[in-house]
Amino acid sequence: MKNLILASTSTLFGENYLAYLLDELKDFYKNQHTITFIPFARPGGITHDAYTAIVAKAFTTINKSVIGLHNYTSLAKGIEDAEGIFTGGGNTFLLVKQLHEQGLMHLLKDKVEAGTPYLGTSAGSNIAGVNMQNTNDMPIVYPPSFDTLGLVNYNINAHYLDPDPTSKHNGETRATRIKEFHFFNTTPVVGLREGSYIRVQDEKHTLKGPFDARIFKQNEAPFDGKNLHF
């Protein structure tokens, strides 16, 4: 039974890391003592150790221990032994490149589909989808494949921003970019606004948080909603 939390962000403006999710995570990881953290997305180029330390500090508030996957001699064994998994945000291209090149993408998929609780934030949520083609990140590295975990049958656009009618910026909006994606792809896209997250329990997908998602489908006008079954 799949057991996922897929969040747009790890940190709401003005709050501590994961603060808005901690009550949910206390119940989500109630049967796990140690969380295996995948730090490969490395926001801002932070080291794996420094990133893991930030996560560990947050999880101490709900009495959970954290170990970075990079600390294992065998990364595959680290995935296999994980009680619970958290993949943090950062650059999705870098994260996907590392998971493919280390031979971990299919191992991680199998582990989560077998029931291991999985938390993703930002890039960590992006990889739960069919592929990473709706990330907002710059292609700073070139992954062997854009295919990701396929734990849900749609893609996630984390940090979704609605168009600002008062903005003088002439560049493309998120909605425009997703429309471009749908010229060539049929995969639905869920725009997750900040503070919102998806709770997946097997085939039940529940949108939680203060905002509806922005739903994009090929050849349809985008709309706000909570129904994530496609």
Q: Residue 9 and residue 25: Cα distance in Å, rounded?
A: 14
Q: For a pLDDT cut of 70, what percent of the chain falls above it? A: 100
Residue 2 host element (H or E): none
Helices assigned H by DSSP within the chain = 22-28, 48-60, 75-81, 92-101, 105-113, 123-126, 174-181
Give the mean model confidence (pLDDT) for residues 156-163. 96
Query: Cα–Cα–Cα angle for 192, 168, 134, nearest 5°?
Result: 30
Q: Residue 106 and residue 152: Cα distance in Å, rounded?
A: 14
Out of 10, 122, 125, 196, pick the active-site residue.
122
Query: Cα–Cα–Cα angle for 84, 6, 36, nearest 5°?
Result: 20
Give the mean model confidence (pLDDT) for residues 87-106. 98
Give the mean model confidence (pLDDT) for residues 158-163. 95
Q: Which of 72, 37, 30 minimizes the C-alpha distance to 52?
A: 37
Both tokens of 49, joined, read 């150790």
**Is pTM, for the whole model, over 0.95?**
yes
Average pLDDT value over all residues in the chain: 97
Give the mean model confidence (pLDDT) for residues 103-130. 98
Q: How many residues does the chain have?
A: 230
Give the mean model confidence (pLDDT) for residues 156-182. 91
User: Up-side HSE of residue 127: CA atoms within 13 Å toward CB?
Assistant: 34
Please name the residue that has the structure tokens 């009680």: 83
Residues forming beta bridges with residue 6, ordered by sequence position: 120, 198
C-beta separation of 157 from 182 below 8 A: no
3-class state of residue 213 by DSSP: strand
Q: Residue 44 and residue 171: Cα distance in Å, rounded?
A: 24
The predicted-structure confidence for 32-48, as pLDDT tens digits, reads as follows 999 999 999 999 999 99
CATH class, domain 3-225, is alpha beta
Q: Is the pLDDT of residue 181 over 90?
A: yes
Clarify whether 159 is annotated catalytic.
yes
Looking at residue 195, its pLDDT comes to 97
Out of 48, 70, 100, 159, pick the active-site residue.
159
Looking at residue 167, its pLDDT comes to 83
Out of 8, 10, 125, 137, pick the active-site residue.
137
Clarify whether 137 is annotated catalytic.
yes
